[in-house]
Amino acid sequence: MGRSYTYTYHKETLQEWLPLTRIHILIHFIGVLFLCYYRISHLFLHPPSPPWILITAAEVLLSVLWFFNQAFRWRPVSRTPFTDKLPREDKLPGLDIFVCTLDPEKEPTLQVIDTVVSAIAMDYPSDKLAVYLSDDGGCPVTLYAMREAGAFAREWVPFCRKYGVKLRCPRVFFSPMGEDDEHLLHQDAGFKAHRDLIEGKYEKMQNNIDKFGSDPNNVRIVSDRAPLIEIINEEPGLPLLVYVSRERRPSLPHKFKGGALNTLLRVSGFISNAPYFLVVDCDMYCNDPTSAKQAMCFFLDPQTSKDTSFVQFPQMFHNLSKKDIYDSQTRTAFKTMWQGMDGLRGPGLSGSGNYLSKSSLLFGSPNQKNDYLADAEKYFGNSTGLIETMKVMRGQKTSKKSISREEMLREALAVCSCSYENNTKWGTEVGFSYAILLESSATGYILHTRGWRSVYLYPKTPCFLGCAPTDIKEGMLQLVKWLSELLLLGFSKYSPFTHGFASMSIIHSFTYCFITMSSLYAIVFIIYGIVPQICLLKGISLFPKVTEPWFAVFAFVYVSTQVQHLVEVVSGEGSVAMWWDEQRIWILKSVTSIFAIIDAVKKWLGLNKVKFSLSNKVVDEEKVKKYEEGKFDFQGAAVFMAPMVLLLIINIVGFFGGIWRVFNEKDFQEMFAQLFLVTYVMLLSYPIFEGIVTMKSKSE
């Protein structure tokens, strides 16, 4: 166990082998410097050839990315909340939960409702909890389903509290996964009958929603509509349940999910005005009902509360296979990167599973004075009612009088209009940022530059569970979208290379430099996948001979990198097979990220229209079967796979042609490194090659 620091409501523990990690980084850094010296010095000692220039550029870029990447490993920490030490429930602050949905064709309505119901059943005082659903599609089926969910929640919430149910997503509780939960319950004579009764009502709700959604008109997105707010549940003993559909007009910008979240921030100010809120994706149900209290251990801790902006939980999935061939669990992000950032000034903001302080989004820096509200209309818009709710949140005196429910809804509808944010600071200095389409990534970064800190909590029991992509197409669509937007952030006025260095610690800025520039791995791997292979066929050596001292530098850097990765995987309860599979999918994703670079350049030049591509969350049983068998599924991903197919062809030719040439020319020592490289790529790529062949045979 590493050194720990105990606070009032939580404990922070440094990584146990931190000194060894830092020593390894420093030794590896020396090796990287020697490697770069070897490459660059040869440019001046000998007439530089195009292959040598290309491979030097690739290795220098790779070295820079490695350098930024080590910032995540400089001070990783883990945290333990003390929920039993929190104040009594009647002393806990209010909490809002925001769920966003758009298209019932891609985000099945029943899946959305399961998420909403699990949020309503959160282990938190009902009179302090409110759940908001933003329906950005304005679909009739979503409003109907919310009404059905409100009726079901009147039965489900008391049932969960009476028997101490832990799995509060009804779909999970009534599935085989819920059986373990049942054994923990007080199974008195009435429990089974009560359970069967609730299950019958849940099935009735599902059937009603399915029947209503069978009419195509009820699942159609309405892109030209007036705003609508409906308070569905406001009974004593139950959390508030609110449906929100903001105004949408085809000719006016709506700022995608960021705009929807900012609308919820304003609307919730009129209805519940809680100081904290949770953002959760519509397909990620609340798996552990205690997550809110765990987050409050950081927001309410007197030693950390003043400047804590958000608490981030990992995005985890219930449908991961044992092999997880697409690395959907993103171990590197959630077990290495986010924990490493947590030891600096905090992790970035992911799109789901984060609890946020509204004050951090609305009122500037942690030391912002109350005169921030003196020119409130300039920042927040012309709604005096909204400004008064913000004064209440800040503990200031307010002239707001109690108003009727109808008047409150009328004011709330006004802040849902398309034009409300015009000539305000929403999306720039207030609320979620519109700097890029990834509103969460940009917002988390900007909050850090303003002086806020964040917290990362990786509990043993996953607090939120979603459905991971089970084919390469959806994963690649997400990857290209994320990386292109992050690259745009890296070249924007908020760039971590300029704005970040001026506003944050250097080492924390390095983490954001890596995040925004990680798509540049595509350049490295494309050069490494073409140049050495062609040179191998032509007998052009790009690496030192095996007998030369400089060869030891290259060997050391390679082995050191692999050992570091292996230790991180195994120490995180992974396996050697996972280590090998992660390398494969890393190379595949890195090569595919060339499309992210192209997309970012087009957007930067104004050649591409900014549009939001929604991930498809509909489950395809055939794809799930292949995923569970550990077989790559490239159906529909031909475009994304084109660069990888090209590199595989070059490597196959280089492998067999290189072996033939080496045996004939007897220059094994000169060509060993290139022969090793092409062999390594071939071994890694075999399952990918198999998947491509399967895709081609099916298409025929």
The residues that are catalytic are 136, 440
Query: Was 621 annotated as part of a binding site?
Result: no
Q: Which of 436, 268, 285, 306 is nearest to 353 (CA)?
A: 285
* Mode of pairing for the β-strands spanning 276-281 and 95-101: parallel
310 with 349: CB under 8 angstroms?
A: yes
**Closest CA relative to residue 681, chosen from 562, 593, 589, 588:** 588
Tokens standing for residue 203: 């099935």
DSSP three-state, residue 602: helix
CA–CA gap between residue 696 and residue 642 (Å, rounded): 12
Q: How many residues does the chain have?
A: 700
257 labelled binding-site residue: yes
At a CB cut-off of 8 Å and minimum separation 6, what does 648 contact? 685, 688, 689, 692
Exposed/middle/buried for residue 665 (C-beta within 10 Å: 0-12, 13-18, 19+): exposed
Q: Which of 432, 439, 408, 446 is CA-nearest to residue 262?
A: 432
User: What does the angle CA 675 – CA 677 – CA 679 come to, to the nearest 5 degrees?
Assistant: 70
State the Cα torsion 166-169-171-175 to the nearest 10°: -20
Using alpha carbons, list the distances in angstroms from residue 348 to 48, 555, 571, 632: 42, 34, 23, 30
136 annotated as ligand-binding = yes
CA neighbours closer than 13 Å in the CB half-sphere of residue 296: 23
Q: 204 a known binding residue? A: no
Q: Which structure tokens are listed for 642?
A: 């084109």
Report whether 463 contacts 291 (CB < 8 A): yes
Residues forming the annotated binding site? 106-107, 136, 257, 281
Residues forming the annotated binding site for Mn(2+)? 257, 281
Residues forming the annotated binding site for UDP-alpha-D-glucose? 106-107, 136
